[in-house]
């Protein structure tokens, strides 16, 4: 048996993700240019880390 989120749950998750994105953007704005550059240099590694996380989150297709 599989459980799937309702439309309301999906909406709630989107609201949480948007709130986190806003907080993240606000925090990034406090960093120095060198700190932002270091994060930018890490983007390829962060994308590589995100790929398996997205795969785990994606609904399984039977």
pLDDT tens, residue order, the chain (62 aa): 888 999 999 999 999 999 999 999 999 999 999 999 999 999 999 999 999 998 887 766 55
Give the pLDDT confidence score for residue 21 in this predicted structure. Answer: 97
In a domain, 34, yes or no: yes
Number of domains in the chain: 1
Residue 1 domain-assigned?
no
> Which of 40, 46, 13, 11 has the alpha carbon at shortest distance from 28?
40
Tokens read off for 24: 């993240």
> Does 2 map to a domain?
no
Strand blocks (E) in the chain: none
Residue numbers of the domain that contains 39:
7-57
Location of structure tokens 């297709």 = 61
For residue 41, tell me if it sits in a domain: yes
Residue 62 lies in a domain: no
pLDDT given for residue 3 in this prediction: 87
Q: Is residue 23 part of a domain?
A: yes
Residue 2 is predicted with a pLDDT of: 86
| 11: in domain | yes
State in Å, rounded, how far the first CA of the chain is from the last one: 12
């Amino acid at each position: 048996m599989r459980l799937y989120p309702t439309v309301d749950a999906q909406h709630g998750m989107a609201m949480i993700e948007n709130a986190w994105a806003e907080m993240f953007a606000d925090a990034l704005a406090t960093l120095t240019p060198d700190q932002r550059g270091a994060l930018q240099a890490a983007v390829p590694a962060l994308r590589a880390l995100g790929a398996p996380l997205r795969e785990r989150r994606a609904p399984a297709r039977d």
